[in-house]
A and B are shown apart, each in its own frame.
Chain A
């Protein structure tokens, strides 16, 4: 079995004393200083805390203390994780200057493990977007080609990890925000089952869809991070205790594994992307997996249902940004209402406003039944369709995105067309399922293509093992490391 994981590799280097955590951290900070201007992956750097943690890890290493698997690993958090004492903006003007007074649960967990936080990564404003370009800091660029977007909304995390500016990044996925940028940047992105990872401290976009997950350079690393963060949290009522450890399942044979191929997912996929995907399916066949083609007509309802429900929840979640307690406040106003209106008009970007308006509309008296209620029914239909599908197969293989990474500024043109690029990622969020995007080759534009594997609820061990087996068989052909950043 080949080891592609950076986390275990670094763990060995640290424990054998070949490199100190401080030295490693300095290398990353130096690389970020050198290259972040080009990639715009980070919007906030935290060198002091990083070096402090590193020194602490070094002290423990010197004392031969037993350290958890993620100790000393340099990593990032998307800028929508609440981090005590570190400015957190969701890449929105409206939260500029907001310094949280509490830590997100996942950050508390990782802090305890001794991971080294390098900084906060770029994202579409409030995670609304597919290119990272709605960020008030400007978009993150794709390390494979800086004329292309890194994807979104967790574009900064994907760019940082693909560009070797962090070992792993935590992102959030509401409609594809981990998997799509992972696909665009040629790395692994896991969106766990809804409820597997605590959302406490994740600044909400759409609460019933949002889920935290890792972006990494390998499936092995994704499994290690997942195992660390998938814990029941009493602070999040929707968090579950059903999550099972995944790392220990990696390496099991997949002979006889039934892989469902829902044909609707492949409609409208660009030919060169399709070719890469089919190549990956052939690899699976060669590993003894059985491909089961089937039809899932209801999947087409996912996108409209998603945009109605997610926007409805967002319109409510984002109501609190009124300039009264924290963040941005307009300078000139006549009275309280004027202050709130102007603050929100000036503080939110166009895409966020569009979704707040849409969400407000679909919840309004007289429209609720026609939109929100209908969308909820559709959500039920999609959940059922997946349940039926998993009665016949173990995992589903689909494209992550119908295309490769867009050119810069592409998505600004047509909102609906941009929304359509989420068509393959959104169903997973609708049904609360786990999905992982893994690199599976390149398009005719030499940009990475992602294969999306989807599992039943809490089937992360099976799902990640299926991804791992492909990675073992095909990594050299489909993964291309970027030459910049820290090379270990």
Chain B
């Protein structure tokens, strides 16, 4: 019997607000342990949380871009559990009234992955183990998170990966998170179950906690698929449980401390008031949001003739997408503009962070002018690359590196003369052409190009030659 994989994801995304969710401490990643802390985020007795309005706005933006309904009224709840990285012994989260509900994310195969909800909550601190001792760093405690809960709509590891990548792209794009898996600002819990192909009902699921890289996630799901299929094929049952992925062995294993996980004794957070998002607030957040990145992706493919993979790379960083569009708009050679960015400019960045910052010496307007020269046939493609390199090195406009002669091109009269000469020198080709071998024209055009060192416009040349050879 063949089995089908069924996955649902809970994705935790750290919001890129400047300050924490309930106090004014910095959310910056890194920093000496326990330096981004205050009495509130370390839960000292008597402190009270104060909800950061920006967190609600960022989460609403995330909800809007994933087509969620935004709840006009929601509230915060306490999730009670004991762990040293949680200084109040409860996490302030949302239980039965999340901020956003019922959205979806579309995959490239056209399938819509439904989102059950997006809610806001605080992150916990971090335990650091060192030479037999355990230390606690509360810098991350109180950093705002959204948890995005999908329905069990994903059917393959590729779909899971694309779903997470899409979330990453759109959330980064609208600026609510940097979604860096390696820094933990995007983490996934994956619910995995299997069912015989064609069966409607879902199987029993296992939840794999805290996946923080695509490689591990793919391996963990593959392992879990095999494990569950094996169990079912040998007549055993899958147990509903939480499992941990072991990076060393590539296996998942059941987590024993289940009693903590079972009953969080949720109740309404009495220290915070009801969260209200009015229609005006929601619409003003929507108005400030950039174009839907998935729509922009489709537009880049349709309007600029880019291959989808190229368009995706540009859109991954909104700053780069904006740069591209400013440079390519109104040009004929927009693909060349994309290549200038994806090949030459990207090659100059050593790290993702540098790519993120996208600091280049050439302004979009300067690249635009360069592409216009190409459009006008004033320079050839091969000259683009070397000119752009010089521009990137110096920050000076293209005109600084192109000689008068380069830019002037060839006058119509001169070109006609060169063409006449080329026709005379290539009598054989002329004869072939006149005999009906249209392809022979190419050889004569090539000769013209050679004579003008590539400065002639090929279309123009062809036109003149066709005219000359008529008679």
Contacts and interface: CB of A to CB of B under 8 A. Distances in A.
Q: Tell me whether A and B are bound partners.
A: yes
Contacts of A98: 45
Interface stretch (A127-135, A232-240, A443-451): A232-240
B270 A208 contact: yes
Given A202-B46, A237-B48, A325-B87, A102 B263 contact: no
B90 A316 contact: yes
Contacts of A319: 80, 82, 88-90
A311 to B, nearest CB: 12
Nearest to A313: B270
B87 A320 contact: yes
Nearest to A326: B44
A238 B46 contact: no
Contacts of A336: 84, 134
A324 B138 CA distance: 13
B50 interface: yes
Contact of B48 (A95, A236, A312, A368): A236
A278 B88 CA distance: 48
A82 B87 contact: no
B47 interface: yes
Nearest to B88: A320
B86 to A, nearest CB: 9
B267 A320 contact: no
Nearest to A340: B82
Contacts of B33: none
Contacts of A316: 78, 80, 89-90, 265, 267
Interface string B25-69: 000000000000001001111111111000000000000000000
B265 A360 contact: yes
A201 B47 contact: yes
Interface in B78-96: 78, 80, 82, 84, 87-90
Contacts of B412: none
Contacts of A457: none
Nearest to B49: A237
Contacts of A42: none
Interface string A235-261: 111100000000000000000000000
Interface in A319-344: 319-320, 322, 324-326, 336, 340
A207 interface: yes
B267 A363 contact: yes
A207 to B, nearest CB: 4
Contacts of A234: 50
B236 interface: no
B271 A101 contact: no
B469 interface: no
Central interface residue in A82, A234, A235, A320, by most chain B CB within 10 Å: A320
* Listed residue (B50, B263, B271) with the most chain A CB atoms within 10 angstroms of its CB: B271
Choose among A98, A237, A326 the residue with the greatest number of B CB atoms under 10 Å from its CB: A237
Contacts of A80: 46
A326 B272 CA distance: 25
B46 A365 contact: no
A235 B50 contact: yes
Nearest to B22: A237
A204 B10 CA distance: 33
Nearest to A84: B39
Given A319-B88, A320-B88, A325-B87, A82 B46 contact: yes
Nearest to A327: B45
Q: Which of A315, A319, A326 has the most chain B CB atoms closer than 10 A to its own CB?
A: A319
A488 B191 CA distance: 73
A203 B87 contact: no
Contact of B46 (A100, A326, A340): A100
A236 B47 CA distance: 9
Contacts of A88: 45
A372 interface: yes
B273 interface: yes
A104 interface: yes
Interface string A159-179: 000000000000000000000
B44 A82 contact: yes
B50 A324 contact: no
Interface string A73-111: 000000011100000101000010010111010000000
Contacts of B46: 80-82, 100, 104, 200-204
Given A235-B50, A237-B51, A320-B89, A312 B45 contact: no
A320 B263 contact: no
B339 to A, nearest CB: 53
Interface string A273-300: 0000000000000000000000000000
Contact of A101 (B39, B87, B89, B136): B39
A100 B89 contact: no
A200 B45 contact: no
B82 A325 contact: no
A345 interface: no
B197 interface: no
A282 B461 CA distance: 116
Residue from B44, B51, B265, B272 with most neighbouring chain A CB atoms (10 Å): B265
A42 B270 CA distance: 31
B50 A322 contact: no
Interface string B254-274: 000000001101110011110
Contacts of A360: 265
Contacts of A320: 43, 45, 87-89
A205 to B, nearest CB: 11
B24 to A, nearest CB: 11
B50 A364 contact: no
A141 interface: no
A148 interface: no
Given A82-B44, A88-B45, A316-B265, A237 B89 contact: no
Interface string A353-376: 000000010011100100010000
Contacts of B267: 312-313, 316, 363, 368, 372
B270 A237 contact: no
B272 A237 contact: yes
In this complex, the member of B45, B49, B90 whose beta carbon has the largest number of chain A beta carbons within 10 angstroms is B45
B271 A102 contact: no
Contacts of B78: 316
Interface string B399-441: 0000000000000000000000000000000000000000000
A364 B265 contact: yes
B45 A237 contact: no
B45 A203 contact: yes
Contacts of B80: 315-316, 319, 363
A364 B44 contact: no
A286 to B, nearest CB: 43
Contacts of A325: 42, 87
A199 interface: yes
A76 B159 CA distance: 64
A235 B39 contact: no
Contact of A100 (B44, B262, B266, B270): B44
Nearest to A236: B48
Given A237-B51, A238-B271, A313-B270, A95 B45 contact: yes
A202 B266 CA distance: 23
13 contacts: A82-B44, A98-B45, A100-B44, A104-B46, A200-B46, A201-B47, A204-B45, A208-B270, A237-B272, A312-B267, A313-B270, A316-B267, A365-B265
Nearest 10 interchain pairs by C-beta: A319-B89, A363-B265, A208-B270, A207-B270, A82-B46, A203-B45, A201-B46, A203-B46, A102-B39, A365-B263
Given A102-B44, A235-B50, 13 more contacts: A81-B46, A100-B39, A100-B44, A102-B39, A102-B47, A234-B50, A237-B271, A312-B267, A313-B267, A316-B265, A319-B90, A320-B45, A322-B84
Interface of A: 80-82, 88, 90, 95, 98, 100-102, 104, 199-204, 206-208, 234-238, 312-313, 315-316, 319-320, 322, 324-326, 336, 340, 360, 363-365, 368, 372
Interface of B: 39, 42-51, 78, 80, 82, 84, 87-90, 134, 136, 262-263, 265-267, 270-273
